[in-house]
Amino acid sequence: MNTPFNFHLTKFSNEAEILRSEVREFLSDALKDIPKETRAETWYGADEDFSKKVGQMGWIGLNWPKEFGGAGRSAMERYVILEEMLTAGAPVGAHWISDRQSGPLIIRYGTEKHQKELLPGILKGESYFCIGMSEPDSGSDLAALRTKAEKKDNIYVVNGTKLWTSGAHRCQYMIACFRTSQEEDRHGGLSQFIVDLSLPGVTIRPIIDLAGRHHFNEVIFEDCEVPADMLIGEEGNGWNQVTAELALERSGPERYLSSYILLQELVNEFSSRNDDEGVTEIGRQMAHLTTLRQMSVSVAGMLDQGANPALEASVVKDLGAVFEQELPNIAHRLMGLEPDANGSDFQRYLAILTQISPSFSLRGGTREILRGIIARGLGLR
Amino acid sequence: MLSETSQILSDTVEKIFSDNVTKQCIINSEKGEWPKELWNEIIENGLNLVLVPEALGGVGGSWFDAGILFKAIGKYQAPIPLAENIVAGHLLGLGGIPLPDDSIVTILDGEFSIKDNKLSGISKRTPFGSSATHGVALINDKSSSKVILLSIPKDSISDDKNLALESRSNIDFMDVEILSSSEILFSSDYILKIGALMRSCQIAGGLEFLLDQSVKYANDRIQFGRPIAKFQAIQQELAVLATHVAASGVAADYASSSMDDGCEDLAIASAKSRVDDAVSIGASIAHQVHGAIGFTYEHGLHFATRRLWSWRAEYGSGSYWAKSIGQKAVASGSKNFWPSITTGKI
C-alpha cells in the first residue's frame, strides 16, 4: 500500500505574488481603524464596510468564471487573498461564506435566475449567506436532519429548526438543507434551498457563546413559504451537493490560521528576551505552520485542476485545528500571563483565542468525523 | 504529477528495494554483513549518481529527485549508505570531482587539519564508516574552503553503531593522503543542513512504512471476533498517524524542492523539526496498534522505529533546528514573520 493522499507541492505564480503585494498594500490602509479584538477573531469578525471594500477591489469571487462576474483567476490566487487577510486579522466574516461556498454552489447548481439575481450582490460584498445544515438533533449526523419542506403547488412549506447557524442575523440568505421526502436511504430525500431570511415564518434567535459573543443563531421555520424556484440543484440530491460543498468548506487557510496572531505576537515578545526555551518553541510552531501551509496550498492546487481533494482537506483541517488549538496553550505556557479582555494587547488576544479555540475542532466537521473520513480513506471501514 | 526523471527513479528504486531489501538482508546487515548484491544493483542502475552533474557522468538530477530516493531508503529500511553516496556525489560535483569507481563513499564530519596534502583529525559517528572505502569532507582553512576526497584506511576505523545497528564509526585520520581537492564556496553548516534534509526525507519514508504496516496489521488481527481495524478507537489512532505521515511527506518534499530553488533554510529546518515531532507520535501509535508482537525482534516493525529514533537525532535534532529558525524569527521581528513564511526566506 502507498498512502492514499495526493499532496503534491504547488507553487504560486508570479501573478499570485504580485497580487499578494497588492493585498498587503490594501490591508495596511483598510485595517488602520480595526480594533485589536476584531483582528484576533479573523473570520469570526464581520465588518460590512470592509467587505464592500474587498468587493470593490474585485477580490470576492476571484476564481469564479468571468461569465458569472468573477475574475476568472485561479484558486491559488484566491488563496493568496485569504491567507493575507487572515494573517493580517482582517474582519472578513461578513462575506466569507458567500465567497467560499454559497457563490460556487449557485454557479454549479443554481438556475440562471439564481445566478442573475444573487451573484452580483455577493461580488459587491453586500449580500451575505449563511449555511443551514445543523439542527437540534442533527450535528455530526447530518443525515438525521428533520426540517421538512413540503411541496404545495409552486411553494415549499418549511417547518423545523436550524441550529448553530453562524452569522444568520446579518445575512440576507441561507442555503439550507431540508428534507423533501422520507426515503429508505437516509441520505436520500434531502434538498437544498436558497431561503430569503426576510420571509414571513422565519425567526432568528441569538445564541450567545461562552465568550459572550453573538455569533451563532437558532433559525426557526414555521409554515415558511419558500418559492419552489428557490430549490437549488435537484430535489433529493441534497446529500451529494452538500458533500461537494464540504470540500470547499474544509480546505482553506482559515483551518489553521485562526490563532496565527498569537504566534506573531510571541515572536514580538521574545525579540527582547534571552530565552532559549521560548525561541525553540516558536521555531517548532513555525515548522508546523510552514508545513501546514504547504499542505493547504497543495489542496488549493488540486481544486484548480478540478480534482476532489476531500480526503486531503480532512487531513489539513484535522492537523490545522490541533495547531491552532495548541497555540493559546503554548502562549500561556511561555508567557504566564492571565488572559484578560481589558489587559495588554497580548492578554486581549489570549483572552479571545483561549475562549474560542474549542470551536476550532467542532465547526466544519468535528475532529472525530474528520478522523473517521481519514480512516475510511485508509481502508479501515 | 512527477517529472519523467522522478518517475523513473521512483520506479527503479521501488523495484530494487522491494526485490532486495528483505527482512533477512536487514538482519544480516545488523550483524555486520555488507549487502553486496543490493549495493551492486544500486550501482548498476546509477542511483548513487543522481546528484552528480551530467558532465561528470552523472544523472544531473534535482534535490527533489534525490529526495524520492532518500524517502525510499526509509520506507524499506535499506541498510546501505545510498543517501550518503548521493550527497557525496553532490559535494564532489561542486568541485568538479567525479565519484570514484567501485567506491562506497561516506561523509566525514569533524575538525580536520591539512598539512602537505595530508589530512589529520577525527570524523565522529561517520555513517556506514565500517564499509566505506572513501570519505568526502568540506574543509575551511584560514585561506580557502574546499571539498576533498580521500580513501579511508581500514586501521583508522573504530566502529560504533546507532540504535538501528547501522554503522556510525569514529575514524581517526593521521596524515592520510588527499586524493582530490577543489576550492568551492559553502556555508559553515552546509553538511549539517544537507544531512538534515537527507534524514528528514528518510524519516518521512520510514513513517510511511509505519502507517502501511499498522493498517495491514489492524485489518488482519482479530480480537473480540473482528479485525481490530473495525474498532473506532483504533481507527482514530491510525487516522492521527496518517495525518503525521502526510505532513512529514510534505515537509520533506518542501525541503528538497526548496533546495532546488536555492532557498532552503526555513524549509530544511522546518522539515527536521516537523518530522521529529511526527516520529514521537507516529512510532508510539504504530507500536500501540501492533501490541506485543511489534515489540519482538521477530516482527519487523522495529527495523523502522529504531531507525526513526536514531535519525531524528542525527544532523541536528528537531529542537536544534527549531531553535535555529526561532532565533532568526525573533531577530528579524514580528513584522517580517509572515513574509518569511510566504517567501521561505529567513
A174-194, pLDDT tens digit by residue?
A: 999 999 999 999 999 999 999
pLDDT of A42 reads 76
What ipTM was reported for this prediction? 0.97
The Cα angle at residue B321 between residues B317 and B322, in degrees rounded to 5: 110
Give A268's contacts in chain B (Cβ within 8 Å).
333-334
pLDDT of B282 reads 98
CATH (domain of B136)? 1.10.540.10
Which residue of A280, A302, A316, A318 is the best one to mutate when testing the B interface, meaning the one whose CB has the most B CBs within 10 A?
A280
- Total structural domains within chain B: 2
Give B254's contacts in chain A (Cβ within 8 Å).
9, 290-291, 294
| Cβ contact, residue pair B251, A287, below 8 Å | yes
Buried b (16+ CB within 10 A) or exposed e, B314-338: bbbebbbbbbbbbbbbbebebebbb
> What DSSP line would sit under A130-199, residue for residue?
EEE--BTTBSS-GGG---EEEEETTEEEEEEEE-S-TTGGG-SEEEEEEE-S--SSTTSSEEEEEEETTS
Instruction: Assign B151 to helix, strand or coil.
Output: strand
pLDDT at residue A158 above 80?
yes
Structure confidence by residue, pLDDT tens digits, B149-196: 999 999 999 999 999 999 999 999 999 999 999 999 999 899 999 999
Question: B338 and B242 in one domain?
Answer: yes
| Cβ contact, residue pair A288, B341, below 8 Å | no
Question: B178 and B40 in one domain?
Answer: yes
Give B321's contacts in chain A (Cβ within 8 Å).
283, 287
Q: Counting every residue, how long is chain B?
A: 346
Give B1's contacts in chain A (Cβ within 8 Å).
6, 8
pTM of the predicted model as reported, rounded to 2 decimal places? 0.96
pLDDT at residue A37 above 80?
no
Give B247's contacts in chain A (Cβ within 8 Å).
291-292, 295, 319
Question: B202 and B141 in one domain?
Answer: no
In chain A, % helix, strand, coil (3-state, to 5) comes to 50, 15, 30
Instruction: Assign A262 to helix, strand or coil.
Output: helix
Question: B267 and B158 in one domain?
Answer: no
Question: B109 and B215 in one domain?
Answer: no
Measure the CA–CA gap between A277 and A168, rounded to whole angstroms.
44
Q: By C-alpha distance, which of B150, B76, B165 is closest to B118?
A: B150
pLDDT of A2 reads 60
Q: By C-alpha distance, which of B208, B215, B243, B249 is closest to A314?
A: B243
CATH (domain of B288)? 1.20.140.10
Per the CB < 8 A criterion, the answer to whether A282 and B329 are in contact is: yes
Residue A107, Cβ neighbours under 10 Å: how many? 18
Residue of A271 and B1 predicted with greater confidence: A271
pLDDT of B1 reads 64
Domains present along chain A, CATH in parentheses? 14-127 (1.10.540.10), 131-240 (2.40.110.10), 251-377 (1.20.140.10)
Phi, psi of B209 (to 5 degrees): -60, -45
pLDDT at residue A323 above 90?
yes
Which residue of B209, B217, B337 is the best one to mutate when testing the A interface, meaning the one whose CB has the most A CBs within 10 A?
B337
Question: B197 and B170 in one domain?
Answer: no
Among the candidates B155, B183, B211, a domain finishes at B183
Q: Residue B281 carries which side chain, given as an amino acid letter?
A: I
Residue A108, Cβ neighbours under 10 Å: how many? 12
Question: B298 and B276 in one domain?
Answer: yes
pLDDT of A35 reads 82
Structure confidence by residue, pLDDT tens digits, B280-309: 999 999 999 999 999 999 999 999 999 999
Quick one: cell of A270? 521574545
pLDDT of A83 reads 97
Question: B274 and B150 in one domain?
Answer: no
Which residue of B276, B319, B338 is the best one to mutate when testing the A interface, meaning the one whose CB has the most A CBs within 10 A?
B338
| Cβ contact, residue pair B277, A288, below 8 Å | yes
pLDDT of B286 reads 98
Question: B166 and B201 in one domain?
Answer: no
Question: B201 and B170 in one domain?
Answer: no
Structure confidence by residue, pLDDT tens digits, B94-128: 999 999 999 999 999 999 999 999 999 999 999 99
pLDDT of B143 reads 76
Q: Å from B84 to nearest chain A CA?
A: 25
Measure the CA–CA gap between B147 and B269, rounded to whole angstroms.
24
| Cβ contact, residue pair B235, A379, below 8 Å | no
Question: B96 and B37 in one domain?
Answer: yes
Per the CB < 8 A criterion, the answer to whether B151 and B133 are in contact is: yes
Domain residues for B270?
192-343
pLDDT at residue B53 above 60?
yes
Sheet strands (E) in A47-154: 129-132, 148-152
Among the candidates B126, B155, B183, a domain finishes at B183
Give A290's contacts in chain B (Cβ within 8 Å).
251, 254, 266-267, 270, 274, 341, 344
Question: B142 and B227 in one domain?
Answer: no
Among the candidates B183, B208, B233, a domain finishes at B183
